[in-house]
Amino acid sequence: MAQFHSICKKHDVPIGSARMFVVNEIPIGIFHVDGEFFALDNRCPHAGASLSLGTMDRDTVSCRIHHWHFCLRDGTYLDENRPEFDARCFPVRLKGDEVQVQV
């Protein structure tokens, strides 16, 4: 059963930025948008580039390689209606100063 894991401290990912952490051998991108944290599988569904190195714009991220866009809230691939290209999304909760992700 998926459990929440403490993945980092809030200050490890400043507002408007993202970082990659590994939980259970899964690379997870943590994205910080105005006090809200989101977690996506860091591997772009197109060709595996690091989504945490992409460009954030509010609650979306653009992959740095071919510029596909994904919703940070649920991983939806935004450029076409192609659910097979949605990014895997993980629930996030805050516990004190810790960012926890359900993996």
Q: Which residues bind ligand FES (CB under 6 A)?
A: 44, 46-47, 49, 63, 65-66, 68
Q: Which is nearer to ligand FES, 43 or 100 (CB)?
A: 43
CB atoms within 10 A of CB 7: 22
Q: How far is the CB of 87 from ligand FES (least distance, A)?
A: 10
Kindly state the tokens that stand for 64.
Answer: 């740095």
Kindly state the tokens that stand for 98.
Answer: 């810790």
8 Å CB contact between 34 and 15: yes
Kindly state the tokens that stand for 97.
Answer: 């100063």
Q: Which is nearer to ligand FES, 75 or 100 (CB)?
A: 75
Q: How far is the CB of 34 from ligand FES (least distance, A)?
A: 24
Task: Round to whole Å and give the CA distance between 103 and 100.
Answer: 9
Q: Which is nearer to ligand FES, 40 or 101 (CB)?
A: 40
CB atoms within 10 A of CB 93: 11
Q: How far is the CB of 43 from ligand FES (least distance, A)?
A: 9
Q: Which is nearer to ligand FES, 12 or 59 (CB)?
A: 59
